[in-house]
Amino acid sequence: MEIEREIAGIQDTLRTVVEIQARQAEILRTQQAIESQKETLNRSLAKLPDNAVLACAFYGAARSEILQRLGMRETTFTFWVTTVGVVVSLSVKAASQSAGLPALDARTLGLIPIMSLPFTLLVTRHSMIIGWISRYVRDDLNRLLRQSTIEGIDAADAGPRHWDNSSKLQSRIGLFLFFESLAYYLFLVGPAAAVELYRYISDRNALADPWFWGGLVCTAVAFLICVARFVVDLLPRK
């Protein structure tokens, strides 16, 4: 009986050892699976682009958006100038002459002040978006692009300057933007103001005409928008 008990104890011990070995093998397989997943994750992370690469891609997208907005603004402004010329041509009365000059139909000219406001809003919208994108490049991307104009970046560690940050552009951009903004806003509001003045002088009943007051309101709003944008454009960039 004692021998049988010893044999049973040995068998229990052997079963325990087998279970421990099976658990150790399972733990080993689990560790190997974890290591394999770590290697896969590390390989995936190694394929991700760093911040400089992402900044270059974002800069390219921002530049494309700026160029597209510039083209749209130029198209809108050209269409406005064309519209003014067409309205003036339609308002000319070929049959009536005054001091050797063709007379103008005041009510037809009244289209110019009315239309000045939507054109001003369109041009200003494009200008605002261009400014926002430019500030995004300057404030958020230039440090990642290692531009030498950013505080804390040494000249030895700086990367090549992109066009928006080039010394050639920075030395001339202020004066150019001043005259560009001045020309835009003068041509947006100038014709409308001239038409309102012409209608007030040539038509004695202009003050009783709602068409005149509507044009005057649109011209005034467009003028205020242009003045506000012009002041913002003149403010020094931080």
pLDDT digits over 123-156, tens only?
999 988 988 888 888 888 777 776 655 555 555 5
Q: Coil, helix or strand for 204?
A: coil
- Model confidence at 90, in pLDDT bands (50, 70, 90)? confident
Minimum mean pLDDT among 45-54, 104-113, 186-195: which range?
45-54
| Short-list 120, 152, 74, CA closest to 218 | 120
Q: What is the spatial distance between Cα 232 and Cα 58, in angstroms, rounded to a whole number?
A: 26
Q: What is the DSSP string of 167-197?
A: HHHHTTHHHHHHHHHHHHHHHHHHHHHHHHH
For residue 72, the surrounding DSSP H or E stretch is helix 51-91
Decide: 204 and 212 in contact? Cβ < 8 Å: no
Q: Residue ranges per domain, the chain?
A: 1-48, 51-234
Q: Please tell me the predicted confidence (pLDDT) of residue 204.
A: 80
- Indicate whether 61 pLDDT > 70: yes
Decide: 161 and 147 in contact? Cβ < 8 Å: yes
Q: Please tell me the predicted confidence (pLDDT) of residue 161.
A: 63
- Indicate whether 234 pLDDT > 90: no
What residue type is assigned to position 84 of the chain?
Answer: V
- Indicate whether 172 pLDDT > 70: no
Q: What is the spatial distance between Cα 233 and Cα 227, in angstroms, rounded to a whole number?
A: 10
Q: What is the spatial distance between Cα 81 and Cα 85, in angstroms, rounded to a whole number?
A: 6
Q: Which of 12-26, 81-95, 167-181 is most confident?
A: 81-95
pLDDT (mean) for 220-235: 85
Tokens of 86: 């067409």
